[in-house]
């Protein structure tokens, strides 16, 4: 008997192709005797079904496995909501890049069937927790599987902030912002900003400055257990925004303190047995292959 008996489904509801894959996946799972639970937003797009419907957070309590149909953004959203429940996630790619959602739509029955029969590999990934305080009082918080980003918002203006790592002052920087990324996020926005690619198994965080006003400012890789503190400078000519995986946007003010550290709960990503991080880099990032 499979260790996964109750399967939650989450999909990118605005995509017609996602709905097609969801229906195909539901038919396969029900035909194989599995219990299917649809996330409530997803269920609204999948007409004429008879399966249980649940809030996204509740899937973590009900399910042994959650399958996300969509792009990396869909999986990031599911990860933020479900990490504290320790329910593993499996991704079917209906987006563009698909670094985290690695099963193609035409492989649904084959690859999902293999996973459910025990032929899979599991990876543990950590998330980041972000909190913002103003005059010592909490203003907002969020979590991210990819990155926490300090940026100018809609106005393209240079911002100024002080950076501390584990209580030690690092620098005062004037730039377009700062990306604080996990290894998972190192192949996303941090990569576009000039950061290094980090293997998912690394226990490290990378800080990537965005267009710093000095040629000597470079990405810094620190221990995954580090606490990062950003203090928004009184000299900043704009009010920087803070986002977590591009969501949970908070507008800061001068003197605000942003703290980022590793989330205590880890996420388990499930992949087909032949999954390779380096193959994903080759195919998704267009790396050249050797002819030797």
Active site residues: 72
- Listing DSSP states for 65-81 in one string gives EEEEEE-HHHHHHHHHH
Name, in order, each residue with C-beta under 8 angstroms of 205's C-beta and a sequence gap of 6 or more: 128, 180, 181, 182, 221, 222, 223, 224, 226, 228, 260, 262
Based on the number of CB atoms within 10 Å of its own CB, is 275 exposed (0-12), middle (13-18) or buried (19 or more)? middle
For 174, the token pair is: 């004037």
- Cα→Cα distances 12→77, 92, 167, 185, Å: 10, 11, 40, 20
Contact 113/172 with Cβ under 8 angstroms?
no
164 is written with which tokens? Answer: 């501390």
C-alpha span between 43 and 2 (Å, rounded): 25
């Amino acid at each position: 008997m499979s260790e996964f008996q109750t399967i939650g489904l989450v999909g990118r509801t605005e995509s017609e192709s996602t709905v097609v894959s969801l229906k195909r996946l539901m038919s396969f799972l029900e035909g194989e005797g599995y219990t299917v639970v649809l996330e409530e937003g997803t269920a609204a797009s999948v007409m004429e079904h008879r399966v249980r419907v649940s809030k996204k957070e509740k899937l973590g309590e009900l399910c042994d496995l959650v399958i996300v149909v969509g792009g990396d953004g869909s999986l990031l959203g599911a990860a933020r909501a479900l990490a504290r429940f320790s329910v593993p996630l499996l991704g079917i790619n209906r987006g563009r890049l698909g670094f985290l959602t690695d099963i193609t739509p035409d492989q649904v029955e084959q690859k999902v069937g293999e996973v459910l029969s025990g032929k899979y590999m599991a990876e543990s990934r950590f998330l980041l927790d972000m909190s913002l305080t103003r005059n010592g009082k909490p203003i907002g918080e969020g979590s991210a599987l990819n990155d926490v980003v300090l940026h100018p918002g809609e106005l393209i203006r240079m911002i100024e902030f002080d950076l501390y790592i584990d209580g030690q002052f690092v620098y005062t920087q004037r730039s377009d912002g700062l990306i604080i990324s996990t290894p998972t996020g190192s192949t996303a926005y941090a990569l576009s900003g000039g950061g290094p690619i980090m293997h998912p198994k690394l226990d490290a965080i990378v800080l990537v400055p965005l267009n710093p006003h000095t040629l000597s400012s470079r990405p810094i890789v620190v221990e995954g257990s580090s606490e990062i503190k950003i203090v928004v400078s009184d000299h900043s000519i704009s009010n920087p925004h803070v986002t977590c995986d591009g969501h949970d946007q908070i507008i800061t003010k001068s003197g605000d303190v942003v703290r980022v550290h590793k989330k205590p709960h880890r996420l388990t990503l499930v992949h087909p047995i032949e999954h390779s991080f380096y193959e994903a880099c080759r195919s998704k990032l267009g790396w050249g292959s050797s002819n030797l």
